[in-house]
């Protein structure tokens, strides 16, 4: 499975995926002024649109992804701009995040339910978690897609121990049809 995932994403990044390249998420851009500075983690970083953006704004970024092709493109950009980015090829299904390390964790359009409980432990006190991911909508999504989409209220329940600053579940239109999205910013309680 890991090899198939790696081959799939390496091919996507070799061909270029406009939605995964270029500008960072508008949600991240809007929230950046309110997020703590320091060390950041970009999960499923791909070509690094978020990692590069964060590093340009003074963060020291760890970028994790399964695709060597995507991370190579990311590191080429980071080196060209002399940005503080470290990248590692990691199967996120087996990842163990370091505890009490990050001021910010960014997780966009990647869902790994087994990894979610590690986020709170990886944040420093007062650290922030920003998540933007598709929301399962039974009216338009095939039942098999529930694996890759959060259910209504799911993130709020999983991160109930964090201080949720913003949470929304909204319909949105993507190029492949109508989808719903869940967005959340939450902070680890300061000790």
Q: What is the CATH number of the domain that holds 66?
A: 3.40.50.150
d(CA 61, CA 101): 11
Domain that holds residue 27: 2-16+23-187
d(CA 159, CA 183): 13
* pLDDT > 70 fraction of the chain, expressed in percent and rounded: 87
- Mind listing the pLDDT tens digit for each residue in 19-68? 556 799 999 999 999 999 999 999 999 999 999 999 999 999 999 999 99
Interatomic CA distance for residues 165 and 173, integer angstroms: 25
Q: How confident is the model at residue 120 (pLDDT cuts 50, 70, 90)?
A: very high
How far is residue 45's CA from residue 110's CA, in Å, rounded to a whole number? 9
| Per-residue pLDDT, 58 | 98
User: Per residue in 122-179, pLDDT tens?
Assistant: 999 999 999 999 998 877 788 888 888 999 999 999 999 999 999 999 876 555 555 7
**pLDDT reported for residue 141:** 80
Instruction: Answer whether 25's CB lies under 8 Å from 107's CB.
Output: no
**Count of domains forming the chain:** 1
Which residues are CB-contacts of 112 (< 8 A; sequence separation ≥ 6)? Answer: 92, 93
- What is the rounded CA–CA span in Å between residue 40 and residue 106? 8
More confident residue, 164 or 3: 164
Distance of CA 111 to the CA centre of its chain: 9
Q: What is the rounded distance in angstroms from the CA atom of residue 24 to the CA atom of residue 28?
A: 7
Give the whole-angstrom CA distance, residue 177 versus residue 10: 25
């Amino acid at each position: 499975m890991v090899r198939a995932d790696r081959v799939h994403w390496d091919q996507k990044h070799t061909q270029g995926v406009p939605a995964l390249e270029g500008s960072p998420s508008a949600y991240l851009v809007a929230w950046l002024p309110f997020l703590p500075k320091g060390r950041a983690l970009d999960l499923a970083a791909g070509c690094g649109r978020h990692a590069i953006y964060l590093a340009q704004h003074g963060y020291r970024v760890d970028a994790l992804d399964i695709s060597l092709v995507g991370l190579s493109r990311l590191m080429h950009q980071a080196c060209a701009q002399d940005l503080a980015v470290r990248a590692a090829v990691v199967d996120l299904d087996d990842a163990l995040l370091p505890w009490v390390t990050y001021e910010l964790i960014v997780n966009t359009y990647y869902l790994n339910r087994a990894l979610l409980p590690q986020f709170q432990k990886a944040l420093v006190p007062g650290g922030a978690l920003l998540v933007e991911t598709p929301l399962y909508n039974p009216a338009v999504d095939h039942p098999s897609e529930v694996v890759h989409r959060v259910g209504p209220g799911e993130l709020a329940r999983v991160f109930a121990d964090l201080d949720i600053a913003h949470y929304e579940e909204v319909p949105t239109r993507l190029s492949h049809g109508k989808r719903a999205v869940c967005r959340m910013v939450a902070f680890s309680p300061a000790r």
